Amino acid sequence: MKIKYVVILCLFWGAVFSLFSQENSVNELRRKRKAALEAINEAQNQLAETQKKSKSSLSDLQLISAQIRARRDAISLLDKEVTQIERQQKKINSEISELEKDLDKKRQNYAKAMRGIYSHRSGYDKIIFILSASSLNQTYRRMRYLREYSAWRKLQAQEIVSRQQDLESKRNELQKNKEEKEALITERRGEAVKLQAQEDDQKVIVAQLKKEEKTIQAELQKRKKQADALNSQIEALIAEDTKESVKKADVKAESKGGYAMMKVEKELSDDFAKNKGRLPFPLSGSYLIVGHFGPQQHPQLKYVKIDNKGIDIQTKPGTDARAVFTGTVTKVVVIPGYTTHSVIIRHGNYLTVYSNLSSVYVKTGDKVSTRQAIGKIESDASDGDRTVLNFQIWKETTKLNPELWLDK
C-alpha cells in the first residue's frame, strides 16, 4: 500500500512539473519574442534618424539587416510558441476526456445510490431497519452504516459538482488557448508581410552599394586597419602584463605562459567566469547589435568579408559606455592617426575592451565597479551621428564571443 502511495505521489508531481515546464517554456518564448520586437523597433528608430542626416547606404544596410534578423527571430519564436500552445491544447483535451469519464462514472454511481434510497426513502423504513437488528451490537452497526452512507452520498454530490467545475475550467482554458493561438498566427502573418517589405528595401540598398564597391572597400579597409592596430596594442599589453605578473603573483598561471594571478585576482577571475550570460550590457539606454563576432562573409555584399574581434553595438548619441564587471583599468589607448579612445579593463585573467570613445572618464590604474560609466561613445557627424561601441572580451590571448557573456 505504501509503494502504491509513493507511485501515485510521483505521478502527481511528474504531471505538475510537466505542466510547470510547459508554462515556463511558453513564458520564456514570450520574453525572447518581446526582446526581438524591441530590437526591431530600435532598428527602425535608428534607421529613421540616420536617414534624416546621412546618405550612408552601408550604415542603412547594417540597420536594415539587423532589423531583418530580429524579425526573423520573432517569426521563429512565434512558430515555437504556436507549437507549445498546440501541445498544451493536446494535454488539456486529454485532461477533459479523463474528467468526462470520471464525471460520468460518479454520476452513474450516484444515480444508482439514489435509486436505492428512493426505494426505501421513508424515515419509517430506516427505523424498522434499525429496530429489526438481532442484537445491540448489530443495532449500533446499522446506525453507523446509515450515518456513513448519508455522508458518502453528500461527498459524492460534492465531488460531482467539483468535477463539473474542473471540466468547465478546462474547457475555458482550452478556448483561451485557441484564441491565443489564432492571435499568434495572425501576428505571424503580419510579421511575414513586414519582413518581405524590409527585404525589398534591403535589395534596393544592396543594388546601390554594388555601384559604390570601391568606396566601400576603402572605408572597410580603413576600419580594418584601425581594428588591427587596436588588437596589436591589446596583444602587446597582454604580453607585458603577463611578464610582470610572474614577479608579483603568489600562485601559478592557469596555462603555460599565461597571466599569473594573486589570490584576489584569481577570485575576481572566477567571479567573472561565473557570470557568463549574465553580464550587463556595456552601455546605458537602448541599443542594437549591428556587427557580430568572428570572421564572416557579409550576407548581402559578396565582395565584403568581415572579421570582428568583438561586437558592434549601435546606440543613441550621448550614450556612455559602462564597465560590465568590477575590475582595474589597465590601459587607455589612442590609436595613432585616430581620435577615438579605447579602455581596457582587467578582471583577473579576463580583459574587456571598450572602443570608439570620444572622451574617457577613467585613467590607468583606476578601480571600476559594475555598470560604472567609463567614457562617452563617439558619434560620427559624417554618418548621421552614428554612435557605435565596439566591445570585446579576452581570456589571456583568446578572443571570446561577447554575445555569449552578456545578459540580453
CATH of the domain at 336: 2.70.70.10
Within-domain flag for 276: yes
Question: What pLDDT score was predicted for residue 77?
Answer: 78
Contact at 8 Å (CB) between 173 and 70?
no
Closest CA to 177 of 76, 88, 49: 88
Instruction: Tell me how far the alpha carbon of residue 151 is from its chain's centroid.
Output: 53
Picking from 343, 351, 329, the residue whose alpha carbon sits closest to that of residue 396 is: 351
Both 246 and 378 in one domain: the answer is yes
Res. 49: pLDDT tops 60: no
77 and 122 together in one domain: yes
Closest CA to 321 of 335, 340, 337: 340
The rounded distance, in Å, linking the Cα atoms of 94 and 212 is 61
**Where is mean pLDDT largest: 80-84, 95-99, 105-109, 321-325?**
321-325
Most confident stretch, 64-78, 332-346, 361-375: 361-375
Tell me the C-alpha distance between 399 and 408, whole Å: 20
CA distances from 315 to 44, 65, 138, 287, 380 (A): 12, 16, 88, 5, 12
- Whether residues 116 and 262 share a domain: the answer is no
User: Is 90 exceeded by the pLDDT of residue 150?
Assistant: no
Q: What is the pLDDT of residue 362?
A: 96
Give the model's confidence band at 2: pLDDT under 50 very low, under 70 low, under 90 confident, else very high: very low
Domain assignment present for 14: yes
Is residue 340 domain-shared with residue 369, that is, in the same domain? yes
Whether 264 and 345 share a structural domain = yes
176-188 b/e (C-beta count within 10 Å ≥ 16 → b): ebeebbeebeebb
Q: Are 357 and 331 contained in the same domain?
A: yes
Q: By three-state DSSP, how is residue 371 classified? A: coil
Q: Residue 378: its pLDDT value, please?
A: 92
Same domain, yes or no, for 273 and 205?
no
Final residue of a domain: which of 210, 241, 270?
Answer: 210
Burial 356-385 (b: 16+ CB within 10 A, else e): bbeebbbeeebebeeebebbbbbbbeebbb
Is the Cβ–Cβ distance between 368 and 344 less than 8 Å?
no
pTM: 0.59
Residue-wise pLDDT for 289-305, tens only, equals 888 888 876 655 665 67
Q: How do residues 215-262 score in pLDDT, each as one tens digit?
A: 667 777 777 787 788 888 888 888 888 888 777 656 666 666 678 888
Best-predicted range by mean pLDDT (119-128, 197-206, 308-317)? 308-317
Total domains in the fold of the chain:
2
Burial of 106 (0-12, 13-18, 19+ CB in 10 A): middle
Residue 216 falls within a domain, yes or no?
A: no
**Per-residue confidence band for 138, with pLDDT thresholds at 50, 70 and 90:** low
Confidence of residue 17 (pLDDT cuts 50, 70, 90): very low
- Determine, yes or no, domain membership for 285: yes
139 and 14 together in one domain = yes
Residue-wise burial string across 76-89, b where 16 or more C-beta atoms lie within 10 A, e elsewhere: ebbebbbebbeebb
3-state DSSP call for residue 212?
Answer: coil
Residues 230 and 355 in one domain: yes
Residues 181 and 241 in one domain: no
Residue 107 belongs to what domain range? Answer: 2-210
| Cβ proximity of 43 and 66 under 8 Å | yes
* C-alpha distances out from residue 25 to 10, 30, 125, 165, 289, Å: 22, 9, 60, 27, 25
Whether the predicted pLDDT of 287 surpasses 60: yes
**One domain for residues 292 and 367:** yes
Which amino acid appears at position 29 of this protein?
Answer: L
Q: How far apart are CA 309 and CA 227, in angstroms?
A: 8
Output DSSP code: residue 404: G
Q: Tell me if 355 is assigned to some domain.
A: yes
Q: Residue 202: which of 12, 365, 58, 401 has the closest Cα? A: 58
Q: Which of 210, 243, 269 is the last residue of a domain?
A: 210
Average pLDDT over residues 71-94: 79
Residues 355-399 pLDDT 10s? 999 999 999 999 999 999 999 999 887 777 889 999 999 998 889
DSSP letter at 402 equals: G
In a domain, 221, yes or no: no
Q: Tell me what pLDDT residue 288 has.
A: 84
| 220 within a domain of the structure (yes/no) | no
Min mean pLDDT across 69-78, 347-356, 369-378 is at 69-78
Is 370 within a domain?
yes
Last residue of a domain, one of 149, 177, 210: 210
Within this chain, do residues 287 and 320 fall inside the same structural domain, yes or no? Answer: yes
Confirm if 388 and 296 have CB atoms less than 8 A apart: no
